[in-house]
A = this chain, B = another copy of it.
Amino acid sequence: MENDNFTTLEQGAWGGLLGMHGRMMRLIDADLQAHSHISHVEFEVLLRLSWEADHRLRIHDLAARSVLTRSGISRLVERLEQAGLVVREKATEDRRGAYAVLTKAGMTHFEAALRQHVAFVRRHFLALFSEAELEQMAVFWQRVETGQANLESGDNTRPEN
C-alpha cells in the first residue's frame, strides 16, 4: 500500500529539497550573522529596499514580498532603525502609511553584506550546477508558482484544496 506514503523517487525529490534547504539556511544564517550581524530576513528586506530607485518601500509592500507579516516587518524595521540602517518616514500621500528608507550607512553596510552573501551562495549552491541546469530549475519553480503541470504528466488530479 505504498499509495499512502512517498515513493523513493518522491522522497529523493521532495525530502531532498527540504533537507537541502534546511542545511543551506543554517549555513547562510551563520555566514550572514558572522560577517554582517544581520539575519537572513533582515538581509532580504535590505535587498528589496536596495532594488528601489529611491531606496524606500512601504511596510505593507515589504510584508507582501517577504515571508513575514506586517507586524513582523514592523518590528524588523524597528530593529534595523535602531541599528541605523534604515529610517522610518511617514507617507505624505497617505498619512496612515510609513516608509522604510535605506540610510547611507545602511546602503554601505548592505553592499558589503551582499558581496559576501552572493559569493557564499555561489560557492555552496550555484557553482554546483551548469547554466542549463540553473535554467531548468528556474522553470521548475515557475511551474510551481503558476500551478501549471508539465505537458503530459499522467495523474493530474486538479487542485481543488
A residues near B, CB below 8 A? Answer: 4-6, 9-10, 12-14, 16-17, 19-24, 31, 67, 111, 114-115, 118, 120-131, 133-138, 140-145, 147-151, 153, 155-157, 159, 161
Contact = CB atoms under 8 A, between A and B. Distances in A.
Count identical subunits in the complex: 2
A44 B13 CA distance: 16
Contacts of A10: 121-122, 126, 134
Contacts of A140: 16, 129, 133, 137
- Give the dominant DSSP class at A's interface: helix
A38 to B, nearest CB: 16
A155 B131 CA distance: 12
Most chain B CB atoms below 10 A, which of A114, A125, A140, A147: A140
Contacts of A9: 131, 134-135, 138
A118 B125 CA distance: 28
Given A4-B114, A144-B24, A145-B20, A150 B130 contact: yes
A134 B4 contact: no
